[in-house]
Amino acid sequence: MAAGPKIRLVIDPGHGGEDPGAVDAATGLREADVTLRIAHVLKAILDTHPEFEAALTREADRTVTLQERTDIANARDAHLVSIHCNAAGDPQARGAEVWCFAETDPDGGESAGHRIARAIQERLVALGLHDRGVKVIYDRGSREYVARRLWVLWKTRRPSVLVECAFISNPEEARLLGDDLGGFKERLAVAIFEGLSASLLGEREPQPA
């Protein structure tokens, strides 16, 4: 099989070090630890697929600024896949959502970032997570930001996504995320991998010789 150029990905476990991210008050479960585990598993899966070349923004529990995270992705000319868990004041809030920059490209077609986000969201929902949909921070029609300017989507040159896997503030989802033997974090990593494969490999069909 002819090998094309590798698809470069930088996997970004959200938070870390001084910043634990969302913390489940009942159990002390920290978003920074959950995202690191998912990211390590995702990286290990990607490393067994020669079509991809993957790196992490952090390998351990350490502080990395948002600027450093996007710098790593941009220096590698890579897509950034930032991994987070959600949190809300309402403990009933639950489910998965994936963020990208905008739904469309300047030409009006669906953006690559939106395709990647949609493919990942589909697989997360297939795990049984409530579907909160694909979300965007910028609307090309009105040329306005429609949500908080998430740095990792705003400052990356390649189409990038931010995955909110589930809610650490929801007792049931926190239980799943915190259970190291239950395999849920590993299933999330597989779902994200499948979404990346479907959206990124589908775009590079082999050229006729």
DSSP 53: E
- Which stretch, 19-27, 42-50, 65-73, 91-99, contacts Zn ion (CB under 5 A)? 19-27
Q: From the CB of 75, what's the least distance to Zn ion, in Å?
A: 23
Q: How far is CA 75 from the centre of its chain?
A: 19
- From 6-14, 99-107, 130-138, 194-202, give the range in contact with Zn ion by CB under 5 A: 6-14
Q: How many residues bind Zn ion (CB under 5 A)?
A: 3
In this structure, what are the phi and psi dihedrals at residue 95, rounded to the nearest 5 degrees? 105, -175
Closest to Zn ion by CB, 16 or 21: 21
Which span sits near Zn ion by CB under 5 A: 13-21, 149-157, 175-183, 186-194? 13-21
C-alpha span between 57 and 30 (Å, rounded): 18
C-alpha neighbours within 13 Å on the C-beta side of residue 93: 16
Q: Is 45 helix (H, G, I), strand (E, B) or coil?
A: helix
Query: Smallest distance, Å, CB 84 to Zn ion?
Result: 3
Helix (H) or strand (E) holding 186: helix 184-196
Distance CA 42, CA 162 (A): 14
Under the binding rule (CB under 5 A), the answer on residue 21 touching Zn ion is yes
Task: Output the smallest distance, CB 77 to Zn ion, in A.
Answer: 25
- The residue range among 67-75, 81-89, 173-181, 188-196 that interacts with Zn ion, by the rule CB under 5 A, is 81-89
The alpha carbon torsion through 170, 172, 173, 174 (nearest 10 deg) reads: 80
Least CB distance from residue 15 to Zn ion, whole Å?
6
150 versus 196: smaller Cβ distance to Zn ion: 150
Q: How many H helices and E strands in the chain?
A: 6, 7
3-state secondary structure of 13: strand
Task: For Zn ion, give the closer residue by CB, 84 or 115.
Answer: 84
* Of 14, 95, 113, 159, the one binding Zn ion by CB under 5 A: 14
Comparing CB distances to Zn ion, the nearer of 14 and 113 is 14
Quick one: which of 70, 39, 7 has its CA closest to 188? Answer: 39
Asked if 84 interacts with Zn ion (CB under 5 A), we say yes
Contact flag: residue 13 with Zn ion (CB under 5 A) = no
Tokens of 76: 């590698």
Contact between 95 and Zn ion per CB under 5 A: no
Binding footprint of Zn ion on the chain (CB under 5 A):
14, 21, 84
